[in-house]
């Protein structure tokens, strides 16, 4: 360990006033529990929301019934509807992965071929594990290999030969590999041959058959390489290939001299074909990363001056600029409000700043990415199979691609009109004149960032769009849109709760902002009638971390990507921008995509923010000070901010005992509020630190997880220290090969630790040494990004990146913990509330309401069991048989009294206070069965010689 004195601590540590939490120190036994519980069939509850939906990757519609279709989400699985999107049911959520790049459906045979792993290359584009096939419209699946393809861009079924399949594979996202290119199967996926391969950094992004001759195939390749600090989405190997023999041989049809862009600037390419009067029209959209001519850049400059002009401007020339132009420049470039034309001039005149300081004030990777004056999206057409290409439009297609390649790149020709085209990126555009002019189809209710489009060949104007906000349907060619947001498929980055009894849940989502809603949400469409949805958007953009003041649940701190944070008063919805700015001349703060923030557990006026330095506010974010130096290994050149703090935590035992982790693998500790920092040496520290967690039980303990996703490393890295990081033990036996996103220690039981990774949720009962899957009954294999525990209600809230938010009642886990993991145990009975309608016919159109109680049972193995229900006088009133599942499960036990025991039952209740105080005539229900009445009973389970029981009560409202 290296101890480093912080030269920039400005506030003496000892004068800070704060409140301490009192907590005892628990010791954990080194002995692993002999009977380690398996949580098979433990249930979790989805608490939505559905309203904002999530990122779509593909749509496939039944051509003979357009109200029936499938839709895939980037990390939310495959869904099916047969009522035009009013409701959906999941058809791909229990396989090893849930991420989907593309799929194709044979509607006549019920066959689906699905390529796992998203085709986009964003910050959370998850890898898949190859190809899946279903023979029953997605009800069951078999795996067809190609595990190392990772990201599938297209799946194509031959229109005449059901056994011929083409797979376009992009390969690994962050590293070079050879398992990319175009694959073909002639036997329904039993075997594969690679028919097109360029190099180990170039995959295939698009493929299609000629509509009149399936022997003719076009394929678009894409050369790209993503790193944690940079995305290079173009290169000379990005081309369009042509085959006339079903993929046996290929020729490049985007050669030099053809009119198509060439050189290093070729980015992602999308292709489509139309045939008109026996002429084949090939259309292509390309993300052209060549720079625009300087004279064009100059023409497009805003009034006054910009950064490019400043780079060649002298101090004397700057001083000649008008106050209006200087003020406009400062406002447009995000300068702190303390800077104005007068003091900027004064700083220059006194040589306290320079022109370079001014134009580099916001010089960071993200700003530079968006400021790069590249050509952007262009549409080209060829009518001679690529010998020559002509650009369809004269002007630049601005505001379509902002992210330069990693997200967009598709084009479609209307099936019945070769001149009608659709392209999309941030907006959705259409052309009716072969691409010469374009109009936007964006309208109310349609989200931006489009990834898939289906066009009805029979009903003009019928479109289905898949975008970052889910699914939209139009019947008037994009003038108006329906939003189909039935599935809970939100991609959550973060989750937080307040500390009220009836608490609220908060979460930040991918491209759908920050939302707040009630924890007891149940799915219903009633909000469409009332206008009151249980969740409310607090902020737009890519929603990030949330902190809620423990003293005032209306005071919320949250923000969007790259450190743009606000203090929000929910009672008035007043927002104050709080992100601190560096001083002119200092290095700009580097903010991670998901910038960490934390309210101090000792004083809720104190807020921490992590840039490349740790910043602290003592006044609710109104002002900040640096309490560290650069805790990273420094900035790396690229177009993605890197060299940033990714995670931070403060111990509840001592103010100023803080851990931080960085994206370049550093973990630092300060014990005195930043006056001195200790560089902790973590095994595998070159990996992105995804979470640091200071123990809630042991002052010296902390957990650290690191994530190799950005190195295509899928091993789990989890560590524990019991001596402030002087030594570390690698833990996590039983965790699958999946990067870890979050580790959370239980606030009640120090032995319980939760981990969320890219495959789901896991729990440990021995302080992280061993893990078992958690919430496996109905919880999909979805990435888990964040966890939070609401202590008053003992609820665990799970933020999934693909299936919205989930809730787990930890009371059962705590009961299981206290039971020492007995092989058979009744953990909980939800005391039923008596209903006089049990067994009675309300009307002929509804089924009889029968009484049940919910019983939670842990069984070491799957086994047949018998049960009895006794009266308080030990008389058997009901009995039956159940099949106990392995693990912790809920069972519905009927409350019907055995017919042969009716006489004893009636006799037993006549002495009860409930019966004596009846204000109605007690009679046999319509189904001929009596039901347990209010009173105390005992429930018993019998397995062989083992008997377990628990008392319960049927209560009155």
DSSP 333-345: TT--TT--HHHHH
Structure tokens at 482: 């329906």
Q: Which of 574, 575, 546 is nearest to 560 (CA)?
A: 546
Give the tens place of pLDDT for each residue, 554-583: 999 999 999 999 999 999 999 999 999 999
Give the tens place of pLDDT for each residue, 209-229: 999 999 999 999 999 999 999
What residues does 225 pair with on adjacent strands?
A: 232
548, 570 contact by CB (below 8 A): no
Listed range (7-16, 577-586, 919-928) with the worst mean pLDDT: 7-16
Q: Report the alpha-carbon distance of residue 225 to residue 227 in Å, rounded.
A: 7
Q: Report the alpha-carbon distance of residue 522 to residue 795 in Å, rounded.
A: 16
Q: Which of 378, 400, 398, 399 is nearest to 390 (CA)?
A: 378
What residues does 788 pair with on adjacent strands?
A: 797
What's the confidence (pLDDT) of residue 909?
84
Q: Report the alpha-carbon distance of residue 266 to residue 481 in Å, rounded.
A: 34
What's the confidence (pLDDT) of residue 639?
87
- How far CA 884 is from CA of 808, 810, 887, in Å, comes to 21, 21, 9
Average pLDDT, integer, range 144-161: 96
Average pLDDT, integer, range 66-79: 98
Structure tokens at 606: 């104190």
910 sits in the region (left: phi over 0; alpha: psi -120 to 50; else beta) called alpha
> How many CA atoms within 13 Å lie on the side-chain side of 89?
7
What's the confidence (pLDDT) of residue 15?
37
Q: Which of 946, 732, 652, 696 is nearest to 822 (CA)?
A: 946
Q: What is the pTM of this model?
A: 0.92
92: CB partners within 8 A, 6+ apart:
72, 77, 78, 98, 100, 114, 132, 138, 141
Confidence of residue 28 (pLDDT cuts 50, 70, 90): very low
794: CB partners within 8 A, 6+ apart:
748, 809, 810, 811, 814
SS3 content of the chain, % helix, strand, coil (to 5): 10, 40, 55
Between 42 and 952, whose confidence is greater? 952
Give the tens place of pLDDT for each residue, 85-127: 999 999 999 999 999 999 999 999 999 999 999 999 988 899 9
Q: Which of 169, 232, 172, 229 is nearest to 203 (CA)?
A: 169
Between 830 and 173, whose confidence is greater? 173
Residues belonging to the chain = 957
Average pLDDT, integer, range 665-671: 97
Q: Report the alpha-carbon distance of residue 426 to residue 399 in Å, rounded.
A: 7
Q: Which of 447, 267, 269, 513 is nearest to 372 (CA)?
A: 267
Q: Report the alpha-carbon distance of residue 660 to residue 609 in Å, rounded.
A: 11
What's the confidence (pLDDT) of residue 623?
97
Q: What are phi and psi of 530, to 5 degrees?
A: -90, -25
Whether the per-residue pLDDT at 766 is higher than 60: the answer is: yes
What's the confidence (pLDDT) of residue 643?
97
What's the confidence (pLDDT) of residue 298?
53
Average pLDDT, integer, range 3-11: 54
What's the confidence (pLDDT) of residue 109?
96
Q: Report the alpha-carbon distance of residue 431 to residue 419 in Å, rounded.
A: 7
Average pLDDT, integer, range 781-809: 97
Confidence of residue 841 (pLDDT cuts 50, 70, 90): confident
Give the tens place of pLDDT for each residue, 300-339: 555 688 888 888 999 999 999 999 999 999 988 889 989 9
What's the confidence (pLDDT) of residue 374?
87
117, 128 contact by CB (below 8 A): yes
Query: What mean pLDDT is reported for the chain?
Result: 91
What's the confidence (pLDDT) of residue 307?
83
Structure tokens at 655: 């103010």
Average pLDDT, integer, range 15-38: 41
Instruction: Fill in the DSSP letter of residue 298.
Output: H
Between 845 and 855, whose confidence is greater? 855
Q: Report the alpha-carbon distance of residue 902 to residue 876 in Å, rounded.
A: 11
Confidence of residue 3 (pLDDT cuts 50, 70, 90): low
Give the tens place of pLDDT for each residue, 767-778: 999 999 987 778
Listed range (179-183, 795-799, 923-927) with the worst mean pLDDT: 923-927
Listed range (13-27, 263-277, 369-383, 392-406) with the worst mean pLDDT: 13-27
772 sits in the region (left: phi over 0; alpha: psi -120 to 50; else beta) called beta
Q: What are phi and psi of 709, to 5 degrees?
A: -50, -40
Which run of H or E residues covers position 357? helix 355-359
3-class DSSP state of 443: coil
Give the tens place of pLDDT for each residue, 423-472: 999 999 999 999 999 999 999 899 999 999 999 999 999 999 999 999 99
What's the confidence (pLDDT) of residue 637?
87
């Amino acid at each position: 360990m290296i101890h480093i004195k912080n030269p920039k601590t400005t506030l003496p540590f000892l004068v800070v006033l704060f409140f301490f939490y009192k907590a005892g120190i628990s010791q954990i036994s080194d002995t692993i529990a002999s009977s380690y519980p398996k949580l098979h069939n433990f249930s979790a509850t989805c608490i939505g929301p559905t309203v904002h939906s999530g990122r779509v990757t593909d749509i496939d519609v039944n051509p003979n019934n357009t109200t029936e279709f499938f839709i895939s989400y980037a990390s939310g699985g495959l869904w099916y509807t047969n009522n035009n999107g009013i409701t959906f049911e999941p058809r791909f959520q229990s396989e090893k992965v849930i991420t989907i790049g593309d799929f194709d459906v044979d509607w006549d045979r019920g066959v689906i071929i699905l390529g796992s792993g998203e085709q986009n290359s964003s910050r959370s584009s998850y890898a898949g594990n190859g190809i899946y096939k279903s023979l029953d419209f997605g009800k069951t699946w078999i795996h067809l290999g190609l595990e190392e393809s990772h990201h599938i861009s297209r799946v194509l079924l031959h229109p005449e030969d059901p056994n011929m399949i083409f797979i376009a594979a992009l390969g690994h996202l962050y590293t070079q590999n050879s398992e990319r290119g175009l694959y073909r199967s002639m036997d329904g996926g039993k075997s594969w041959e690679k028919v097109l391969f360029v190099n180990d950094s170039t995959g295939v992004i698009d493929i299609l058959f000629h509509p009149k001759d399936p022997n003719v195939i076009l394929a678009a390749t894409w050369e790209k390489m993503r790193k944690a600090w940079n995305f290079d989405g173009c290169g000379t190997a990005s081309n369009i290939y042509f085959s006339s023999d079903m993929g046996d041989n290929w020729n490049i049809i985007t050669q030099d001299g053809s009119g198509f862009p060439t050189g290093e600037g070729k980015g992602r390419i999308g292709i489509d074909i139309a045939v008109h009067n026996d002429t084949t029209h090939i259309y292509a959209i390309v993300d052209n990363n060549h720079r625009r001519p300087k004279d064009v850049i100059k023409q497009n400059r805003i009034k006054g001056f910009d950064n490019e002009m400043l780079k060649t401007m002298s101090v004397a020339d700057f001083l000649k600029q008008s106050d209006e132009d200087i003020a406009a420049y400062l406002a447009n470039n995000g300068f702190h409000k303390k800077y104005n034309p007068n003091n900027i001039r004064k700083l220059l005149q006194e040589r306290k700043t320079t022109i370079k300081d001014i134009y580099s004030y916001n010089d960071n990777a993200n700003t530079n990415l968006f400021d790069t004056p590249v050509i952007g999206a262009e549409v080209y057409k060829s009518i001679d199979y690529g010998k020559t290409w002509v650009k369809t439009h004269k002007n630049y297609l601005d505001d379509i691609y902002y992210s330069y390649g990693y997200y967009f790149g598709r084009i479609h020709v209307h099936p019945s009109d070769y001149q009608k085209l659709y392209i999309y990126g941030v907006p959705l555009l259409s052309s009716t004149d072969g691409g010469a002019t374009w109009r936007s189809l964006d309208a109310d209710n349609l989200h931006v960032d489009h990834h898939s489009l289906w066009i009805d060949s029979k009903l003009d104007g019928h479109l289905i769009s898949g975008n970052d906000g889910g699914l939209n349907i139009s019947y008037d060619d994009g003038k108006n849109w329906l939003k189909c947001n039935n599935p809970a498929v939100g991609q959550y980055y973060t989750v937080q709760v307040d500390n009220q009894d009836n608490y609220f849940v908060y979460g930040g989502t991918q491209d759908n902002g920050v939302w707040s809603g009630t924890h007891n949400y149940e799915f219903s469409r009633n909000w469409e009638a009332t206008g009151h949805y249980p969740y409310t958007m607090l902020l737009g953009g890519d929603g990030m971390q949330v902190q809620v003041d423990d003293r005032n649940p209306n005071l919320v701190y949250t923000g969007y990507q790259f450190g743009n944070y606000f203090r929000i008063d929910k009672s008035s919805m007043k927002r104050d921008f709080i992100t601190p700015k560096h001083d002119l001349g200092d290095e700009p703060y580097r903010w991670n995509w998901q910038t960490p923030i934390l309210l101090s557990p000792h004083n809720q006026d104190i807020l921490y923010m992590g840039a490349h330095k740790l910043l602290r506010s003592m006044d609710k974010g109104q002002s900040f000070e640096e309490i560290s130096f650069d805790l990273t290994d420094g900035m790396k050149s690229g177009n993605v901010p890197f060299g940033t703090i990714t995670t931070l935590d403060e111990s509840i035992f001592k103010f100023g005992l803080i851990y931080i982790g960085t994206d370049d693998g550093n973990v630092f500790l300060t014990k005195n509020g930043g006056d001195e920092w200790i560089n902790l040496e973590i095994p595998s520290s070159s990996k992105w630190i995804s979470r640091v967690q200071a123990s809630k039980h042991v002052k010296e303990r902390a957990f650290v997880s690191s994530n190799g996703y950005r190195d295509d490393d899928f091993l789990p890295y989890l560590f524990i220290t019991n001596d402030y990081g002087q030594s570390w033990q690698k833990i996590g036996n039983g965790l699958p090969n999946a990067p870890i996103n979050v580790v959370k220690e239980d606030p009640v039981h120090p032995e319980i630790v939760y981990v969320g990774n890219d495959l789901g949720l896991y729990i440990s009962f021995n302080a992280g040494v061993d893990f078992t899957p958690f919430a496996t009954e109905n919880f999909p294999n979805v990435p888990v990004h964040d966890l939070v525990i609401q202590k008053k209600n003992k609820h665990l809230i799970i933020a999934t990146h693909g299936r919205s938010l989930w809730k787990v009642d930890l009371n059962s886990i705590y009961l299981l913990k206290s039971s020492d993991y007995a092989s058979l145990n009744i953990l909980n009975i939800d005391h039923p509330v008596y209903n006089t309608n049990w067994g009675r016919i309300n009307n002929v159109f509804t089924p009889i309401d029968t009484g049940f109680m919910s019983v939670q049972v842990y069984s070491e193995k799957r086994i047949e069991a018998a049960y009895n229900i006794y009266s308080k006088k030990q008389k058997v009133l009901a009995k039956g048989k159940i099949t106990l599942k392995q693990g912790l499960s809920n069972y519905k036990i009927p409350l019907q009294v055995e017919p042969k025991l009716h006489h004893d039952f009636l006799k037993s209740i006549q002495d009860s206070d409930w019966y004596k105080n009846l204000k109605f005539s007690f009679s046999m229900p319509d189904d001929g069965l009596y039901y347990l009445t209010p009173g105390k009973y005992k429930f018993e389970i019998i397995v062989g010689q083992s008997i377990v029981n628990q008392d319960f009560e049927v209560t009155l409202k």
